[in-house]
Chains A and B, each alone.
Chain A
Amino acid sequence: MKEELIIAGFGGQGVLSMGKILAYSGIMQDQEVAWMPSYGPEMRGGTANVTVILSDNRISSPILSKFDTAIILNQQSLDKFESRVKPGGLLIYDPNGITRHPERKDITICRIAAVDESAKLGNAKAYNMVVLGAFLKMKPIVTMENVVKGLKKSIPSRHHHLIPMNEEAINVGMQAIEMVNEL
């Protein structure tokens, strides 16, 4: 197993922490992992992205030009990364604020209305976990048990009481994902 993905959106959407939780879940499953963020001026309010690699084998390059999966949370990121999904790969996006939707026919495209779903949950901060749920529905590369372990490792212990709420958001994401282009 080797999954190379990019998560891209606005700073503040929880892009980096979602990547970290996924990476930690991979460690809990004895996988090799790498988490490579953009750390430029874009972190301060603009676009943010993180490359996450989970693999059964040692990871060589953390810098990639093509991805198995792109999780896209704003228009700029969609414009930048749609072309960089490998043929046959997966693109998941949140349609909120998207005016030009993805057009490729050679990849699987899914939609997750995570802004709406996290609002329904009454917790906008669970946004990134709804998105993570959608991804795990399509690619169950880590088990829910290990995701919970990953959450425990990623979140300071004073916030551990929020883990059940995060689990719920992941489950909501798994239910709410919609297929746009099936290969």
Chain B
Amino acid sequence: MAEKILIKGNEAIAIAAIHCGCDGYFGYPITPQSEVMETLMKEKPWETTGMVVLQAESETSSINMVYGGACCGKKVMTSSSSPGVSLMAEGLSYLAGAELPCLVVNVMRGGPGLGTIQPSQGDYFQATKGGGHGDYRMYVLAPASGQDMYDFVDKAFEVAFKYRIPAMILADGVIGQMMEKVEFRPMKPRRTEEEVKAQCDAWATVGKGAHRGGNTITSLALDPEVQERHNIHLQAKYKEMEENEVLYETYRAEDAEHLIVAFGCMSRICQNTVDEARERGIKMGLIRPITLFPFPKKEIDAFVPQLKTMMSVELNAGQMVEDIRQIANGRVPVYFYGRQGGIIPSPEEVLEAYLKHI
């Protein structure tokens, strides 16, 4: 069995990047995720795997370095926290438009604006509905543990390359700062130049040789018909992801009449809420979307007939709840409970809030 290490979620992200054969990390420090780059600087992967680690002069710069690396078919990533991710919004839209795979980690803090450094889930809209301009989606994973932080790096790259889209790990300050036991997976070597070429020759700027014309990477299409065709192609990819890439888990939900929907750290906290409710004889359960895009629409929909109520529990003013209400479509009442500004509710507080509706 692999050794189990006690590390912070942020440290797990950094170690996972090295272990999964990441080619480059470009970032700029911001609480509560600075340990990602700190750990990479301490581990010095450029001496072992050859991975590049670079502190850019700003988040805008980081995301454009990611764009450059991704153009070459490299596994590249950045990490930041909410205000920093806002600075990356233009770059994210360009990456999506140019169909470039990459990983962006957002360890959310309270906002809007510079906000607080304490945990939040206020960037759900930004991550799942856009953030940047135009009709695009990212693959969004919401980790709930240190092990998730570690495992999702490799997973995010896999899906990002499969669909040629930006992937995001949408964590929060709790998951980033908490230390837990993390089990490491076997090391994947970085791909050689030949392997990168073999995998990405159809689109990346890997040197054309004599066998084909040049690859052009752009998000510009001045001809509206070309742009529409491109947009329809992007939407078809997102549709395919909705069919094939949904991840979720449930907790004591089989016979539930009251269902909590929560992601990230709140899904952990709400497990205790469910236990407490069950002790009081209330049939409560939990569904945790692991992918926020694609969202587990069908899976939540399948629960609706057995339910009396639902409640979305989030560290924001009510964002994911809009998606859940759309799924419920008036068949069951969907309530919301959230705290903001970096305050995290206890399991008891969530239960008290839910009991007002039951």
Q: Which residues of A contact B (CB under 8 A)?
A: 20, 23-24, 27, 32-37, 39-41, 59-65, 153-154
- Assess whether A27 is in contact with B265, with CB atoms less than 8 Å apart: no
Closest to B146 in A: A34
B348 partner residues in chain A, CB cutoff 8 A: 65
Q: Pick the most buried of A24, A36, A40, A63: most chain B CB atoms within 10 A of its CB.
A: A63
A23 partner residues in chain B, CB cutoff 8 A: 6, 179
Give bound CA distance, A94 to B36, whole Å: 35
- Assess whether A61 is in contact with B271, with CB atoms less than 8 Å apart: yes
Give the A-B contact count at a CB cut-off of 8 A: 68
Nearest CB of A to B75, in Å: 29
Closest to B267 in A: A60
A32 partner residues in chain B, CB cutoff 8 A: 181
Give bound CA distance, A24 to B4, whole Å: 10
Q: Which residues of B contact A (CB under 8 A)?
A: 4, 6, 31-32, 117-118, 173-174, 177-181, 265, 268-272, 275, 342, 344-349
Using A40-B118, A62-B265, A62-B268 as known contacts, say yes or no to A27 and B174 having CB atoms under 8 A apart: no
- Assess whether A33 is in contact with B31, with CB atoms less than 8 Å apart: no
Closest to B347 in A: A61
Using A20-B179, A23-B6, A153-B6 as known contacts, say yes or no to A60 and B271 having CB atoms under 8 A apart: yes
Q: Please, could you name 12 A-B residue pairs with CB atoms under 8 Å apart, sorted by A?
A: A24-B6, A27-B6, A32-B181, A33-B179, A35-B178, A40-B118, A59-B268, A61-B346, A62-B174, A62-B268, A64-B346, A65-B346
B275 partner residues in chain A, CB cutoff 8 A: 60
Give bound CA distance, A64 to B276, whole Å: 13
Using A20-B179, A23-B6, A34-B180 as known contacts, say yes or no to A40 and B117 having CB atoms under 8 A apart: yes
- Assess whether A34 is in contact with B32, with CB atoms less than 8 Å apart: no
- Assess whether A33 is in contact with B181, with CB atoms less than 8 Å apart: yes
A154 partner residues in chain B, CB cutoff 8 A: 6
- Assess whether A61 is in contact with B268, with CB atoms less than 8 Å apart: yes
B173 partner residues in chain A, CB cutoff 8 A: 39
Q: Pick the most buried of B179, B344, B346: most chain A CB atoms within 10 A of its CB.
A: B179
Q: 5 tightest A-B contacts by CB? A: A60-B271, A65-B346, A35-B179, A61-B272, A61-B269
Give bound CA distance, A97 to B118, whole Å: 29
A60 partner residues in chain B, CB cutoff 8 A: 268-269, 271-272, 275
Nearest CB of B to A48, in Å: 13
Q: Would you call the interface of chain A mostly helix, strand, loop, or mixed?
A: mixed
A61 partner residues in chain B, CB cutoff 8 A: 268-272, 346-347
Q: Which of A24, A27, A34, A153 contacts B178 (CB 8 A)?
A: A34
Give bound CA distance, A40 to B31, whole Å: 9
Nearest CB of B to A108, in Å: 23
B31 partner residues in chain A, CB cutoff 8 A: 39
Q: Which of A41, A63, A153 contacts B265 (CB 8 A)?
A: A63
Closest to B345 in A: A63
- Assess whether A33 is in contact with B6, with CB atoms less than 8 Å apart: yes
A20 partner residues in chain B, CB cutoff 8 A: 6, 179
Nearest CB of B to A64, in Å: 7
Give bound CA distance, A20 to B179, whole Å: 8
B271 partner residues in chain A, CB cutoff 8 A: 60-61
Q: Which of A37, A41, A63 contacts B269 (CB 8 A)?
A: A63
B347 partner residues in chain A, CB cutoff 8 A: 61, 63, 65
Closest to B6 in A: A24
Closest to A19 in B: B179
Give bound CA distance, A63 to B117, whole Å: 17
Closest to B173 in A: A39
Give bound CA distance, A32 to B346, whole Å: 20
B345 partner residues in chain A, CB cutoff 8 A: 63
Give bound CA distance, A6 to B271, whole Å: 20
Give bound CA distance, A36 to B173, whole Å: 10
B117 partner residues in chain A, CB cutoff 8 A: 39-41
Q: Which of B32, B265, B268, B272 contacts A39 (CB 8 A)?
A: B32
Nearest CB of B to A31, in Å: 9
Using A20-B6, A63-B265 as known contacts, say yes or no to A36 and B178 having CB atoms under 8 A apart: yes
Closest to A21 in B: B6
Using A23-B6, A40-B118, A62-B265 as known contacts, say yes or no to A35 and B346 having CB atoms under 8 A apart: no
Using A27-B4, A27-B6 as known contacts, say yes or no to A63 and B346 having CB atoms under 8 A apart: yes
Nearest CB of A to B262, in Å: 11
Give bound CA distance, A59 to B271, whole Å: 10
- Assess whether B272 is in contact with A34, with CB atoms less than 8 Å apart: no
Give bound CA distance, A35 to B178, whole Å: 6
Give bound CA distance, A59 to B144, whole Å: 11
B118 partner residues in chain A, CB cutoff 8 A: 40
- Assess whether B174 is in contact with A63, with CB atoms less than 8 Å apart: yes
